[in-house]
Amino acid sequence: MKKVKVITQILDANDQIARENQRILGEHHVLCVNIMASPGAGKTSLILETSKALAGRMRTGVVEGDIASQIDSDRVASHHLPVIQINTGGECHLDASTVQKALKSLPLAQIDLLFIENVGNLICPVEFQLGEELRVAVASVPEGDDKPYKYPGIFTAVNAVVLNKMDLAPYVDFKLDAMRKGVSSMNRKAKFFEVSCRTGDGIGPWADWLETRWRAKSAQSA
Amino acid sequence: MKKVKVITQILDANDQIARENQRILGEHHVLCVNIMASPGAGKTSLILETSKALAGRMRTGVVEGDIASQIDSDRVASHHLPVIQINTGGECHLDASTVQKALKSLPLAQIDLLFIENVGNLICPVEFQLGEELRVAVASVPEGDDKPYKYPGIFTAVNAVVLNKMDLAPYVDFKLDAMRKGVSSMNRKAKFFEVSCRTGDGIGPWADWLETRWRAKSAQSA
């Protein structure tokens, strides 16, 4: 009971800071997308390919969350995108407070689309609101088509599922119909995109969807 | 500070139950292996292939840990192995207490090798001792060769790393040398096995190592 009470207090405090983040992002007309996935599903690759597809249409910035290392932020910076690395130490998720510090260091006036790449983990990140507009799960073909049934929390909570590594489908036992059925059984409203960050296939419709969401948000706040 | 104190109390209580589990397993001469990995790295496939390789040499049993579903335990049971499914609800790891309940339901006198398949997560499971003799991380080629640097906690804590899905190496950008270097930079003592559960390649040496460890443990306690 004590554990439950402490966790509830932590989540309440987090939600309050998440609302502040949402206000800051709104003032700058930034569409903020929380990208959640297993380790190695291709979160960073998706961010980079999406940023390329939207070049000239939306300006991308990135917050990179990892337990340790700055491998991902170095990779993002090499593409000349503004990026802040958060190392959580041992924490299995980002929280609104660490994201707020990152927001204060980013040139928000020059960013239209802010990706927050969460720690690689299909479970813990979903509990913590960060102030994002959209929550996205990246799944990947080699992980298998049963993930929605095994990790219902995340698949229930997201606005979209991006299925990456479609180029590996010929080499593994993956049933696309089973995956689609699993996602829709958890979440009827979630958009579903099939992509390959390696070949670029499918990135267009996903990027277009983000731009549409950004324009709708801007029109709303105008 | 309050959060830290509560977590320390939880871990202390867990360790005490883990020691009881260790005693129970020791009485039955069971080698217990805690299998930890990202979602979809191939934990269940590795367990099944290892059990096949050891047929006639060691009798395998399985504890399956998942947030939800009994997909994995159904799969294990179809191979006529004794198996108990633990569904954690939302918890991101197994703990010693839930494992103890599973031990009480398993025919331990008929098991030499007990695999505990932890929840798919590279971060949280490592904090919780279960009473196991060996801790093993399963990595997989499509996840990428940078995982040891991004998730140092687990790679530091294990007795062995099994790199699965070697059959996909020709189709992805994976540097085996970088992976090996990453593992050894975190943990010089960890054994490193390259396998493909799809083709069966490399399962032999890994299974032999487990048998050697079991015989050494049995000799020690005799």
pLDDT of residue A221 exceeding 80, the answer is no
Name residues whose C-beta falls within 8 Å of residue A78's C-beta, 6 or more positions apart in sequence. none
Nearest residue of A to residue B126, measured between CA atoms: A90
- Tell which residue, B97, B87, B86, B93, has the closest CA to residue B20: B97
CA pair distance B132, B109, nearest whole angstrom = 17
The one-letter code for the residue type at A195 is: V
Q: For B133-199, give the DSSP string.
A: SEEEEEEEGGG-TTHHHH-HHHHHH-SEEEEE-GGGGGGS---HHHHHHHHHHH-TT-EEEE--TTT
Quote the DSSP letter at residue B106: S
Partner A contacted by B3 (CB < 8 A): yes
Amino acid at A163: L
Look at B68 and A151 and tell me if their CB atoms are within 8 Å: yes
Give DSSP secondary structure letters for A147-215.
Answer: HHHH-HHHHHH-SEEEEE-GGGGGGS---HHHHHHHHHHH-TT-EEEE--TTT-TTHHHHHHHHHHHHH
How many contacts does A have with B, using Cβ atoms within 8 A? 114
Q: What is the mean pLDDT of residues A43-60?
A: 98
Does the structure show a pLDDT above 70 at B195? yes
The reply to whether A213 touches chain B by the CB within 8 Å rule is: no
* CB of A165 less than 8 A from some CB of B: yes
Mutate which: A2, A143, A175, A198, vs B, most B CBs within 10 A: A143
**Bridge pairing between strands A134-140 and A60-66:** unpaired
Residue A7: pLDDT band by 50, 70, 90 thresholds? confident
Maximum pairwise Cα distance, chain A: 52
pLDDT at A11: 85
Q: What is the pLDDT of residue A2?
A: 56
Q: What beta strand segments (E) does A67-185 contain?
A: 83-87, 113-117, 134-140, 160-164
CB contact under 8 A, A40 and B143: yes
Question: Is B18:B11 a contact under the CB 8 Å cutoff?
Answer: no
Taking the Cβ of residue B11 and every Cβ of chain A, the question of whether any pair is shorter than 8 Å is answered with: no
> How does residue B62 score in pLDDT terms, banded at 50, 70 and 90?
very high
Q: d(Cα A80, Cα B71) in Å, to the nearest integer?
A: 44
d(CA A127, CA A201): 31
Q: Quick check: A39 and B150 in contact, CB under 8 A? A: yes
Residue of A nearest to B5 (CA): A3
Whole-number pLDDT of residue A94: 98
Say how many domains are in chain B: 1
A83, A110 contact by CB (below 8 A)? no
Other CB atoms within 10 A of residue B212 CB: 10
In sequence order, what are the residues at sequence separation of 6 or more whose Cβ sits closer than 8 angstroms to the Cβ of residue B86?
Answer: B63, B64, B65, B66, B94, B98, B99, B101, B102
Asked if the model's pLDDT at residue B2 lies above 60, the reply is no
- List the A113-117 sheet strands across, edge first: A83-87, A60-66, A113-117, A31-37, A134-140, A160-164, A191-194
Write the pLDDT tens digit of every residue in B12-25. Answer: 999 999 999 999 99
Q: Identify the band that residue A3 occupies on the pLDDT scale cut at 50, 70 and 90.
A: low
Q: What phi and psi, each to the nearest 5 degrees, are found at residue B147?
A: -60, -40
B182 touches chain A (CB under 8 A): no
User: Residue A1's pLDDT is what?
Assistant: 44
Q: What is the pLDDT of residue A218?
A: 85
- Percentage of residues in chain A having pLDDT higher than 90: 92
**If you average pLDDT over residues B70-81, what whole number do you get?**
97
Residue B1's pLDDT is 44
* Full domain range(s) for residue A95: 2-221
Residue with tokens 């292939």: B49
Task: Check residue A220 and give its pLDDT.
Answer: 83
The CATH number of residue B24's host domain is 3.40.50.300
Q: Is residue A175 less than 8 Å (CB to CB) from chain B? A: no
Q: Which residue type is seen at A123?
A: I
pTM above 0.90, yes or no: yes
Q: Could you tell me the pLDDT band of residue B8, with boundaries at 50, 70 and 90?
A: confident
Cα distance from A93 to chain B (closest Cα, Å)?
10
Q: Do A40 and B6 touch (CB under 8 A)?
A: no
> And the tokens for B179?
């992976």
Instruction: Look at residue A35 and give its three-state secondary structure.
Output: strand
Taking 80 as the threshold, does the pLDDT of residue B3 lie above it? Answer: no
Inter-chain touch B153–A90, beta carbons under 8 Å: yes
User: Closest Cα of chain A to B183: distance in Å?
Assistant: 14
pLDDT in tens, B32-44: 999 999 999 999 9
Contact A67, A87 (CB under 8 A): yes
Instruction: Grade residue B9 by pLDDT with cuts at 50, 70 and 90.
Output: confident
Cβ–Cβ of A68/B152 closer than 8 Å? yes
Rounded distance between C-alpha atoms, residue A168 and residue A154, angstroms:
23
Give the pLDDT confidence score for residue A219 in this predicted structure: 87
Q: In this predicted complex, what is the ipTM?
A: 0.94
Q: What is the pLDDT of residue A175?
A: 98
Mean of all residue pLDDT scores within chain A:
96
Segment B44-67 shows an average pLDDT of: 98
Mean pLDDT of chain B: 96
Closest residue by Cα to residue A145 from A170, A182, A171: A182
In this prediction, residue A149 carries a pLDDT of: 97
From CA A143, how far away is CA A127, in angstroms rounded? 22
When pLDDT is cut at 50, 70 and 90, the band that residue B151 belongs to is: very high
The pLDDT of residue B209 is: 98
What is residue B90's DSSP assignment?
Answer: T
Residues in B closer than 8 angstroms to A92, CB to CB, are 92, 121, 123-124
